[in-house]
Amino acid sequence: MSEEILKPGQKIRFLRTLEEGPSAEAPGRYFAGKGAYGTIDKVGGCKEGFWVFWEGWRSASFGCAREDFYPVYETDEEKECCISQINLDAYCSTDETRPYITKPFLVGGYAVATNGHVMVMIPEDMHPDVVKDSDAPNETVLEIIALFSDAEFKLADVPDYPAKQKCLVCVGAGKVSFTDCKECHGDGAVNFFNDFNEYEHTCQSCKGCGHKKRLGHGASCIECCGTGLTYKHNDIKDGIDYMGGLVNPNYLEQALTNMVHPEVCYLEGRRMYLFSFGRAKAIVMGMNKYD
C-alpha cells in the first residue's frame, strides 16, 4: 500500500506483539498486542518511521515500523483506493501449459486473475481493458462467485506467518536471469566417448541444472515475487493453521497484499477461503489436514 495515504489519525492494526511495557516501573515503554488496534500519531521523526498510539495505552505515542502494522480502511472510498492498486497480472499463472489463466479475463461482472491457487476478482468497471475469454474457466468462476452469496463472513485474523529466509533462487537479489550453460548447452550433462565406451556425466560448470544465473538482473524472481525472501520449504509444504484450516503461507500473503482488513469465510468441505473486501473478492485454496 502506498505510504502517501498513511497520515495522522489513520486507524491501524498491529501485525505482531510488541513486547515492551507499559508498566508502573517503565511508563515510557509501550505494548501493543498482535491483532490490536491503534492510530497513527505522526509520520516520520523517529527511526521506526511512525509514531503511533495503541488503543489500550493512549497516554503517549511510540515509534513503530511500517512492517509491524497495516492500515485499516473502513470507508468505501478508502477500500476503492486499495482495490485500484491491485495488479491483476501478479495473480496470473506463469505455467505455459495452462495459457487460459496466464492473463486476466472477464466473467460475471468481474475482472478475474488466478494462478490456480489464488483467485482475485475486481469489479469490471475498474479494469475496462480486461476482455472475455471463452477458453478461461468461466463456469468455475461463476460457481465460486455464487458461494459468496450464502457465506457467513467474519473479520479475518492477523495470520501467524512463519519467519522467512533468503530466497534460494535469486539468493536475496530479487531479480535473476538465466542463460544456457555454455558447456552442456542447457542439458545439464556432458557426453564423451572413446574407442571402448560412451560416457555421460553431470556438467560441473552448472552442477547439472543446465543454466547459469545472473543475480540482480532480468525479471523479478518468480520464487519470491521480487522480495528476495521466501518461507522455508517445510512451512510451504506443511502449511500454517489459519481460521480453521491449513494454508500455504505464500498464497495467503499474496491474497492479502492489498486486501487489508478483509472479512473471511472458510469453507471446510471445499478447503477454500473466501475473502471479501469492499467490492473485491478473493479465494485461496487450503490444504489437506493430516493426522
What is the Cα–Cα distance from 249 to 264, expressed in whole angstroms?
Answer: 16
222-255 pLDDT, tens per residue? 778 778 888 888 888 889 999 999 999 989 988 8
Question: C-alpha distances in angstroms, 216 versus 7, 88, 222?
Answer: 34, 24, 13
Question: Which residue type is seen at 191?
Answer: N
Take residue 45 and report the three cell numbers written for it. Answer: 521523526
Take residue 70 and report the three cell numbers written for it. Answer: 497495516
Determine the 3-state secondary structure of 239 from DSSP. Answer: coil
The answer to whether residue 256 scores a pLDDT higher than 60 is yes
Is there a contact between 174 and 225 (Cβ–Cβ < 8 Å)? no
Kindly report the number of other CB atoms within 10 A of residue 231's CB atom.
19
**Helix/strand/coil (H, E, C) string of the chain?**
CCHHHCCCCCEEEECCCECCCCCCCCCCCCCECCCCEEEEEEECCCCCEEEEEECCEEEEEEEEEHHHEEECCCCHHHHHHHHHCCCHHHHCCCCCCCHHHCCCEEECCEEEEECCCEEEEEEHHHCCCCCCCCCCCHHHHHHHHHHHHHCCCEECCCCCCCCEEECCCCCCCCEEEEEECCCCCCCCEEEEECCCCEEEEECCCCCCCCEEEEEEEEEECCCCCCCCEEECHHHHHHCEEECCEEECHHHHHHHCCCCCCCEEEEECCCCEEEEEECCEEEEEECCCCCC
Residue 183: the pLDDT is 87
Question: Which residue type is seen at 260?
Answer: V
Residue 105: the pLDDT is 95
User: Domains of the chain (ranges plus CATH)?
Assistant: 3-71 (2.30.30), 87-163+232-291 (no CATH), 176-220 (no CATH)
Query: 147 or 96: whose pLDDT is higher?
Result: 147
Residue 2: the pLDDT is 40
Is there a contact between 43 and 50 (Cβ–Cβ < 8 Å)? yes
Residue 249: the pLDDT is 92
Residue 25: the pLDDT is 52
185-206 pLDDT, tens per residue? 888 888 888 888 888 889 988 8
Take residue 211 and report the three cell numbers written for it. Answer: 543454466
Residue 291: the pLDDT is 40
Backbone angles phi, psi at 64, to 5 degrees: -145, 135
Q: What is the CA radius of gyration of the chain?
A: 23
259-277 pLDDT, tens per residue? 877 899 999 999 999 999 9
Kindly report the number of other CB atoms within 10 A of residue 182's CB atom.
11
Say what the pTM is.
0.75
What is the Cα–Cα distance from 262 to 241, expressed in whole angstroms?
Answer: 18
